Structure 1
Amino acid sequence: MTGERDEIAVVGAGLAGCLLACFLARRGHPVALYERRPDPRSGAPERGRSINLALSERGLDALRRIGLAEQVMADALPMRGRMIHPVVGSPGFQSYSVSGDRAINSISRGALNNALLEAAAKLPGVRIAFEHRLVGLDPGTATMTFETPGGAVTAGARVVLGTDGAGSAVRGQLLAHDLVTESVDFLDYGYKELTIPPLGGDFALDPGALHIWPRGTSMMIALPNPDRSFTCTLFWPTHGTASFASLGSAAAIERHFAQHYPDLPPIAPNLVDDYQHNPVGVLGTVRCDPWQVDGRVALLGDAAHAIVPFYGQGANCAFEDVVELDRCLDECAGDWSAALPLFQQRRQDNAEAIARMALANFVEMRDKVASPVFRARKRIEHALERALPGRYVSQYELVSFSTVPYAQVRRRVRQQYQVVGLAAAGLAAVVGAAVALGLRRRG
């Protein structure tokens, strides 16, 4: 049997797994980090699969705690608002914050993963095993079986932590042992990535914004990259008219984009090739319960609570999981059997809150952002924030620019809307009474 029984096993060397390995190693734990893929530092990223993400305050807070925020932010591109692209007319900018200076940050997923992996590899007590695919787990003994290029190997651990994403093999093993329940709610939407290359050596679009092409029941977004390209992501229905299934030929693709995204073809010369050859990804929400078993096996990040990407909070939420687990270990004096249930108790409601907000934000991004009513509401919201600083704060600012727990954000926003609604109703009543009094006096 390979591995040491006192190791903490982290299964999945993605963003959350590498960050978790850093936190655990700094606590003095020996860590074994297992990854089913080859070393990502030695290969090219998979075509059409999420090459960048939006990093905001929750993620930055986690990186600051291990001294990586400054390094990571050196290649980040701040996006201070949304640039809305209509079918006809010029794009319009919508600031994320009332001050206009707060930003979410477009960052290369691969570069961030590699930075975290390098940081973990440099820490004493961390060993990393690539091309290890988990195929067996005994939750009672924390004994794992992996398929490797050299054959099957087994490894033991003190604790097994699954950070292996929405399709988690660790969660699958717990399901096979009837130790957790799971629900997966897929959207009738998929996603496909396209690329806008640099134009004349510069960005083809404003790099200071997240670009959105809202089209009612579908949309496209674009995030800037350090090489001056943009990664575009189509979020379209998987079936029916104007869906991924409805476009096949090059001519049909060209006609559709010319009609619905007319400013894209002139700046995306590889549009048809990208569309035809990049895969369609699935979108869904994963829920499971419990997140841990007997203080010996646990799930974090997407493995426990995958969400749709429409609030840009997937990685940020997973990073916050790591911070909270570290806090729980502090409070429980390193006792895993106490820390893991406490971690779930504190994070599960927050994970559910951001899952619901992300689904709601999909409707906002694909449909509402283009409407005059939405724009008017945002102007009123910003006016309230200026008039009531610190007392009225928008949901977007609380989610993206603070570490206020997600569940608390939802409660606070509901309370704010109730107060504003009552105030508006009271103002309307006063105005109505004054008008009625004026009419009686005239009569």
Structure 2
Amino acid sequence: MEPTGNKSGKKKVVAVVGGGLGGALNACYFAKRGFQVQVFESREDIRAAKVVKGRSINLALSHRGRSALKHVGMEEKVVSKGIPMHARMIHSLKGNSFALLQAVASLGACQIMKVSCKSFVTRFLCDFSAAAEVYPNTKLNFDHKLQDWNAETGNMTFVRADGTKEHIEADLIVGCDGAFSAVRKQFMRRSRFNYSQTYIPHGYKELTMPPIDGDFAMKPNYLHIWPRNTFMMIALPNLDFTFTCTLFMPFEEFEKITTGDEVISFFQTYFPDAIPLIGAEALKRDYFRLPAQAMVSVKCSSYHIADKCVLMGDAAHAIVPFYGQGMNAGFEDCIVFEEIMEQFNENLSEVLPEYTRVRVPDDHAIADLAMYNYVEMRAHVNSKWFLFRKYVDNFLHALMPGSIIPLYTMVTFTRTRYHKAVERWQWQERVRKV
């Protein structure tokens, strides 16, 4: 796909800080428009690294993210390396399981694809590098840690791995450097910048369920959930026929378990069917491999400073992982910004304020929904009344697809703005009670 060229005639410099998923995709968008793009990542080049550091919660690629990838010709490459997910598989305490389907048929919805975080980031950057051959106006810079930047001039100072410094000047700085963004620190020094950071009282640990006779130990095309009211475990398949199991639980509950025998006793009480699938010895070993990891939710506003800087992805809206929308929301940032760039003919003094106006209410809405969905996944799916309502919603959606659309369907299988989806869901709930 050839660059379209910058409409202003001048090749402006865009500095994308953060070389993860959102940063790499943003670079493709700006390069396609003809900007001179430089991506700066503080870590080493993970494509060549033997050990990839960082969080590894499984990722679910759905309609919003796929739409953003499709715009720069990367959807098929990414989807080909994922596993389609058809429904939730609920595992009861008694060892029974049943599928909980979502209503999507009338929308012709694309499938949710499960991808593994660390390997996906590596492959994505490899694909991005291939795309960069089409976009010669793009450069990746690893081992570059942002030390400081100036919101008025666009001057930036990076520290390389060898301790030397590099100074560049950019027309636009795009902060895609995660929940603890170095770019965002400048925003926090300015007046009228709203910011909140919330750690939820639950952490997570990851465990591995190995293959059985060279095949998946459970049905692979499902999000497997063991809901236990105040905590839960989920499992998602990997291309190597393993499952990654993630145990979400209050930190104080994790801290009560201090020995291998206590791990087995805990699993015998709450997840007995998982013990033979994971393996008792592996379970006792892997449980203590790392401490429980924290999860943070970040909200802020505004997302821009004049026409010089904009925040995207987790730097603007880190969310907890329970709606499977973190990556999708970050990818959707790219296409929303692109649509606004088209609307305002790349006039950054108009584009950036409009991006803040459009995107902030949506990102705050999905942050709240992600919190809500944790309660649904660990507790509500145990309720027969909740399950009955799910089936009724799906039935009504099949009968009246234009009138009744389940919230999950709007969020996961359409690009309905997040806050509009919440408003419509609340309206449907009010109508249901009449």
Are 1:335 and 2:347 matched, yes or no? yes
Contact persistence 1:12–1:36 (CA under 8 A): yes
Matched, 1:266 2:279: no
Q: Give the distance between the partners of 2:291 and 2:15, measured in 1 at CA.
A: 32
Contact 2:68–2:335 under 8 Å retained in 1: yes
Task: Give yes or no for the alignment of 1:148 onto 2:154.
Answer: no
Q: What is the aligned partner in structure 2 of residue 65 from structure 1?
A: 71
**Dislocated runs of 4+, deviation >6 Å:** none
Q: Do the aligned partners of 2:95 and 2:273 also contact (CA within 8 Å) in 1?
A: no
Q: Which runs of 5+ in 2 are unaligned?
A: 1-10
Determine which of 254, 260, 268 is the counterpart of 1:250: 260
Q: Aligned partners of 2:12 and 2:95: how far apart in 1? A: 63
Q: Which residue of structure 1 lines up, in the alignment, with residue 8 of structure 2? A: none
Deviates more, 1:128-137 or 1:116-125: 116-125
Instruction: Work out which of the residue numbers 86, 103, 124 in structure 1 matches 2:92.
Output: 86
Trace 1:145-224 onto structure 2 (pairs within 5 A): 145-151=157-163, 152-176=165-189, 180-224=193-237
Map of 2:121 onto structure 1: 113
State whether structure 2 residue 353 is matched by structure 1 residue 345: no
Indicate if the aligned counterparts of 1:213 and 1:366 stay in contact, CA closer than 8 A: yes
Q: Distance in 1 between matches of 2:270 and 2:286?
A: 17
Aligned with residue 313 of structure 2, among 301, 319, 337: 301
CA drift at 1:272? 2.0
The SS at the match of 1:274 is: helix
How far residue 110 of structure 1 moved from its aligned partner, in angstroms, is: 3.2
User: Paired residue for 1:354, among 366, 371, 374?
Assistant: 366
Question: Which ranges of structure 1 fall in alignment gaps of 5 or more residues?
Answer: 423-443
Shift in Å at residue 44 of structure 1?
A: 4.2
Task: Measure, in 2, the Cα distance between the counterparts of 1:339 and 1:98.
Answer: 34
Q: 1:280 to 1:135 in 2, by over 3 A?
A: farther
**Contact 1:49-1:193 at 8 Å conserved across structures:** no
Decide which of 378, 389, 403 is 1:391's aligned counterpart. 403
Q: Residues of 1 paired with 2:347 and 2:51: CA distance?
A: 38
1:27 corresponding residue in structure 2? 33
- The answer on whether the counterparts of 2:104 and 2:413 sit within 8 Å (CA) in structure 1 is no
Change (3 A) 1:72 1:120: closer
Structure 1 or 2, whichever has the larger Rg, is: 1
Q: Which of 148-157 and 213-222 deviates more?
A: 148-157
Partner SS for 1:281:
coil
Give 2:431's match in structure 1, choosing from 390, 399, 419: 419
- The separation in 1 between residues aligned to 2:405 and 2:285, in whole angstroms, is 44
State percent identity of aligned pairs.
38
Structure 1 SS opposite 2:395: helix
Distance 1:399 1:187, change over 3 A: same
Counterparts of 2:123 and 2:28 in 1: how far apart (Å)?
A: 11
Q: So what's the TM-score if we normalise by structure 1? A: 0.90
Displacement of 1:258 in angstroms is: 1.7
Q: Say whether the 8 Å CA contact 1:12–1:34 is kept in structure 2.
A: yes
Q: Counterpart of 1:198 in 2: which secondary structure?
A: coil
Superposed CA RMSD in Å reads 1.8
Q: Which whole-Å CA distance do the structure 1 matches of 2:269 and 2:54 have between them?
A: 24
Structure 2-normalised TM-score? 0.91
Matched, 1:14 2:25: no
SS at match of 1:217: coil
> Which residue of 275, 293, 318 corresponds with 1:281?
293
Range with bigger deviation, 339-348 or 173-182: 173-182
Query: Would you say the 8 A contact 2:301–2:356 is kept in 1?
Result: no
Per-residue CA deviation, residues 365-410 of structure 1 (Å, 9 max, x unaligned), is 0001121111111111112112212221111111111111111101
CA spacing shift, 1:16–1:411, aligned 2, 3 Å: same
2:245 to 229, 232, 236: 232
Offset at residue 303 of structure 1 (A): 0.3
Match of 2:184, SS state, is helix
Deviating more after overlay: 198-207 vs 282-291: 282-291
For 1:127 and 1:99, how far apart are their aligned partners in 2? Answer: 42
Moved more, 312-321 or 80-89: 80-89
Match of 1:434 in 2: none
Partner in structure 1 of residue 334 of structure 2: 322
Query: How has the CA–CA distance of structure 1 residues 22 and 165 changed in structure 2, closer, same or farther, with 3 Å as cutoff?
Result: same
State the aligned residue count.
415
